[in-house]
Structure 1
Amino acid sequence: MWRSILDRINKLTEDITALFLLIMVLLVFVKILTRVLFQSSFPWTEELSRYLMIWITFLGASIAFKYAAHIGFDLIVNKLPGMLKKIFQVISAIACLTFFILLIVKGYELCGRSMVQSSPALDLPMAYVYAIIPISGILMSINLVDTTINKMRYS
C-alpha cells in the first residue's frame, strides 16, 4: 500500500518536472525567436522560465531522494562495520529530516507573507512561486524516510 502510494507520488512528481522542463525550453525558444525576428520579446517569458527553473530544481531534488542520488559520504560509510554504518545512516537521515521540517515550516510562513507580493511581468502572487519550498520539503521527507527504511532493511 505504502509503496504504491509513494510510487504514484514520485511518478507524478517526475511527470510534472518533465512537463515544466518542456514548457521552459519552449518559452526560452520563443523568447530567442521573437528577439531575433522582431528585435523584441515578451517580457513574461523570461520571468516564467525563471520560476519554472526554480520548481524544476526543487522537484528534481525530491526525485533524487527516491534514487538516493544526493551527494553523500558513501566511501566512508561503506567502510564502517554493519551496526556503526546503520547508526551513521540514521543520524544523517535525522539531520536531513530536521532541515526538511525547517523547509516546510519556514516555506509555509514565506508563502503566507508573500501572498500580497506579485511578480513584475505576470502579476502572479509570489506565494505560488515560493510554494515549492514546503512542497519539496514534504516530498523529500517522504522519500528520505522510505530510502532510510530500505537501507536499514537491506544493509
Structure 2
Amino acid sequence: MLTLIDRAWRLLDDTLPAILIGLVSLLITVDIVLRNIFHSTIPDGVEIATYAFVWMIFLASAGASRGGHHFHVDLVGTLRNRALRIAGRVMIEAACGTVSGVMTAASWSYTARSWGRVSEGLEMPLGYFYMIFPLCFALMTLSHLRRAVGFARGARPA
C-alpha cells in the first residue's frame, strides 16, 4: 500500500511539474509567435502560464522535500557519533516539518479567504489557483515527518 502511495506522490510532485513547465514554455512561445507574426495573442495565456508556473514551482518544492533535497543541513553528517547524527537528523527534520506544518495552516487560511476574489482575466475564484499552497506545504510536512521517523527507527542511514 505504501509503495502505491509513494508512486502517486512521485507522480504528483515529479511528473506534474515537468508537464507544467512544458505547458508554460509552449504557451509563452506560441504567444510570442502569435504576437510578433499575427498581431494576436492567446486570450489569458500569460495568466494561465503564470499560474501553471507557480504550481510547477510549489510541486517541485514538495518533490525536493520528499527527496531530502529542499531543506538540507550537512553539518550533522560530519558528526562521528552515530547517536548524535541520528538525533541531529531527527531534530532537523522535526524543525523543518514544524515550519512546513505552520505554513500549511497559514496557506490554508489564505486560500480559504481567496475564494471570494476572482482572477483578472479568467474570472475564476483565486482559491482554485491558490489551493496548491496548502497542498504542497502539507506534502512537505509529511515528507519531513516521515524522514524523521525513518531516522529515529534506524530505517534511514544517518
TM-score, scaled relative to structure 2: 0.87
Partner of 2:77: 78
Q: Provide the rounded CA distance (Å) in 2 between the counterparts of 1:70 and 1:114.
A: 27
Q: Provide the rounded CA distance (Å) in 2 between the counterparts of 1:92 and 1:7.
A: 26
Q: Provide the rounded CA distance (Å) in 2 between the counterparts of 1:71 and 1:93.
A: 9
Q: Structure 2: where are the runs of 5+ without partners?
A: none
Q: Classify the secondary structure of the residue corresponding to 2:115.
A: helix
Indicate the structure with greater helix content: 1
Q: How many residues align?
A: 154
Counterparts of 1:78-97 in structure 2 under 5 Å?
Answer: 78-80=77-79, 81-97=81-97
Q: Provide the rounded CA distance (Å) in 2 between the counterparts of 1:148 and 1:49.
A: 36
Residue 40 of structure 1: how far off its partner (Å): 3.7
Partner of 2:98: 98
Residue 43 of structure 1: how far off its partner (Å): 4.8
Counterparts of 1:1-150 in structure 2 under 5 Å?
Answer: 1-74=1-74, 76-80=75-79, 81-150=81-150
Q: What is the RMSD computed on CA atoms of the aligned residues?
A: 1.7
Q: Provide the rounded CA distance (Å) in 2 between the counterparts of 1:91 and 1:68.
A: 14
Residue 71 of structure 1: how far off its partner (Å): 4.7
Q: Structure 1: where are the runs of 5+ without partners?
A: none
TM-score, scaled relative to structure 1: 0.89
Point out 4+ residue stretches in structure 1 off by more than 4 angstroms: none
- CA-to-aligned-CA distance 1:59-103 (integer Å, 9 cap, x gap): 0011112221225221x2111121111111111111111111112
- Contact kept, 8 Å, 1:65 with 1:147, in 2: the verdict is no
Q: Provide the rounded CA distance (Å) in 2 between the counterparts of 1:103 and 1:2.
A: 25
